[in-house]
Each structure stands twice: as structure tokens, then as C-alpha cells.
Structure 1
Amino acid sequence: MSETSQFNLPLIQSSQAQKHVTVNEALARIDALAQLRLRSVNTNSPPATPTQGDAFAVPVGGIAEWSGMDGTIAIYANGGWVNVLPKSGWRAWVEDSSCYHTYLGNQWRAEQPYQVINGAAFTPAVFHIDHTITAGADNTTADIIPSHSVISAVTARVITPIITDGASSWSMGVAGASGRYGSQYGLALNSYAIGLTGQPQAYYADTPLLIEPETGAFVSGEIRFAVHAMIPVPPDAV
């Protein structure tokens, strides 16, 4: 046995000369892998001026000094690149995407709360827009609810006071379901809305929100909306 099974750390052999070289290489790998931080999982060529300890997940098509390292972690240590094959379940912070990834199914995947090895997942997400109110009896926002999503709530915050012609409050819903996400919301700056669905609501097409004054008409104002969704992700292609 010349390497450890987990991190592929080189082992000192019997009667080996210059043992410090092997020890230093092993320490460099531990330093990089024990709290794994990857610069990227999408870059296929090494940086021109790497820094000691830099680590990259090499995708298919590694070139230059990464040629032949596809699917491994390339670590810059002691003036050169060494590579380690990751194991299922390894976790790393990926700097260029600012999120944790897990190694599953022979690839690095951005972490999802519920995900299996073949890529299927149920992903929480929040979609947001700022809507400037136009004068009229009602307003329709841009499409904010994504197709094939399950919505648990829609929230909102008044970021410019709402001016109306005769209304003291407003409601929030969608076409065909006026007020689905609540009514009697305030007009003043920082008034907020929390519109919960009685049970999760599925949408099968990109959908805008519909807002309406309780009476009269809108004149002006601005509202910040957030849609709280769960997005199903199918298994990977085969």
C-alpha cells in the first residue's frame, strides 16, 4: 500500500530516502482537502499564476497541466499540480459560485436540501421583482411564478407609498383567483404582505401576480414581491 484510502496521501516506504518530501506532499494534500474549498468546478485549464493550496475540480476536457486529470481535484502544492479522485459524499465550498457542492453520481452538484445520486431534487427557491404601479383598476406584474413550480406563499413589501383613488387597502392574487394571496394590505411605506396558500399551489405556466385596490383605483406606488416556491428537478439524462 503506497497511499491512504481516503485522501490518497502518499505513505513513507521502508528505507525511503528524503522522507520529508513524502511527508510534505501528504501535509499539503491534507491542508487542501480537510476543509475543502474549490476555486471552481467548471474551469478546464489551470490558472496562469496559481497560489499554493489552490484546488479545482477538473471537468471533462482538462488541458495543459490538467490533461488526464478529468474528474479529479487538482491541488497546487510545492510548485506543481497533484490530483486526488473525490469520493461520493465529499462536500466543498465553491468560490466562483458562492455555494456548497456535494460530489454525487461522479459529478459536483450545487447542494439541494432533497437530492439523490441521480440528480433528482426538490429545490426551494425565492423569485422576486419590484413592480411600479400604474394608474388603473388593477395591475398585473411581470411573470414571477415559474412554470412547473409549487408555491407555498407570496410576500410583498411597499417600497414606495401606494396612492389610490378611494382605496385604503389592496389584495394580491392571480388571474382567475383574485385575492388568493390575501387582502386588506396597507398602503404606507414598509407595509408588508404575507400571503400563505391553504395548501401548496401548483402552476404549469409562467404566471404574473394580479394586484387590485379594494375599492376605487390605483394611482401610483411601488411594491417588492417575493414568491416562495419549490421546484422539482428530474433525474439526470442517461
Structure 2
Amino acid sequence: MANSANLALPYLAASQAQKHVTHNEALRLLDGIVQLSAADRAVNTPPGSPSPGTRYIVGGAPTGEWAGWDDSIALWADGSWFRMIPKPGWTCWVEDEGMFYVFDGSGWVTLASTLGL
């Protein structure tokens, strides 16, 4: 199935059965990406009881369900973890630090540092 270039949203196929499944997947991704805010960053282990819609910036040594998700955004939705792979320029408010971070293509850096502050 083809996806959009920037947000990797799944496209509906003309002859696809159960189009609502693909549409709902796209809505879930948009809900996770738009106005991006993460509870915490550099988290390597999935928390035990996340609230629906909670997002985390995964650290550099992820374990369990997040294994191999380095620097990704982990979204808890519909009882499962979903991986969102950031593209350069994505910004994220990190709630526990009260700071903005930017993905520069190789990792998450503070917005202040990218502005030379």
C-alpha cells in the first residue's frame, strides 16, 4: 500500500475492502503527529500503564516493544504502541522538561540550540 511522502499516511486503494481500517490508521497517525507533545524523552522502556494518546521520544537503547525504535515517537493508542519515525524539522514539546526539541535528521536537539540561544 502506498503512503504519503511526508507523514507516511496510508492511502486508500481503489479496490480496497474495509477502507475504514486504512482511514482510521491515517487519523491515528495525524492525531499522534499534529501538535506533537511528548510526556518525556530518552525513554527506553515502555511504561506500564500509559493513558490513551500518550507519546514519548524513544531513547538510544530501547527495549521490549520499542526495540529498534531509537529516536522515534512512540504513541499509545487503541491498546497498542505505534511507531512514528520523525523527519528533519519535526518539533516536539517535551512536557516534563517544558522545552521544545527539533529532530535534526540524526537526533533530537533543543530548539534553543538550533536558534543559537
Please report the TM-score for the alignment, with normalisation by the length of structure 2.
Answer: 0.88
Residues 3-152 of structure 1: pairs in structure 2 closer than 5 A: 3-112=3-112, 115=114, 121=116, 123=117
Q: Deviations over 1:171-214 (max 9, x none)?
A: xxxxxxxxxxxxxxxxxxxxxxxxxxxxxxxxxxxxxxxxxxxx
Gaps of 5+ in 1: 124-238
Letter in 1 for 2:15: S
Task: Compute the RMSD of aligned alpha carbons.
Answer: 1.7
Cα deviation for residue 105 of structure 1 reads 4.3
User: Which deviates further from its counterpart, 71-80 or 85-94?
Assistant: 71-80
CA contact (8 A) 1:25 1:77 kept: no
Q: List 4+ stretches of structure 1 deviating above 3 A.
A: none
SS in 1 for 2:41: coil
CA contact (8 A) 2:71 2:108 kept: no
Larger radius of gyration: 1
**How far, CA to CA, are the matches of 1:29 and 1:105 in structure 2?**
20
**How far, CA to CA, are the matches of 2:82 and 2:19 in structure 1?**
18
Aligned residue pairs total 117
Of Structure 1 and Structure 2, the greater strand share is in 1
**How far, CA to CA, are the matches of 1:86 and 1:72 in structure 2?**
6
SS in 1 for 2:40: coil
**How far, CA to CA, are the matches of 2:10 and 2:77 in structure 1?**
14
Gaps of 5+ in 2: none
SS in 2 for 1:41: strand
SS in 2 for 1:101: strand
Letter in 2 for 1:30: L
Letter in 2 for 1:62: P
SS in 2 for 1:21: helix
Task: Calculate percent identity across the aligned residue pairs.
Answer: 37
Cα deviation for residue 101 of structure 1 reads 1.0
Cα deviation for residue 64 of structure 1 reads 0.9
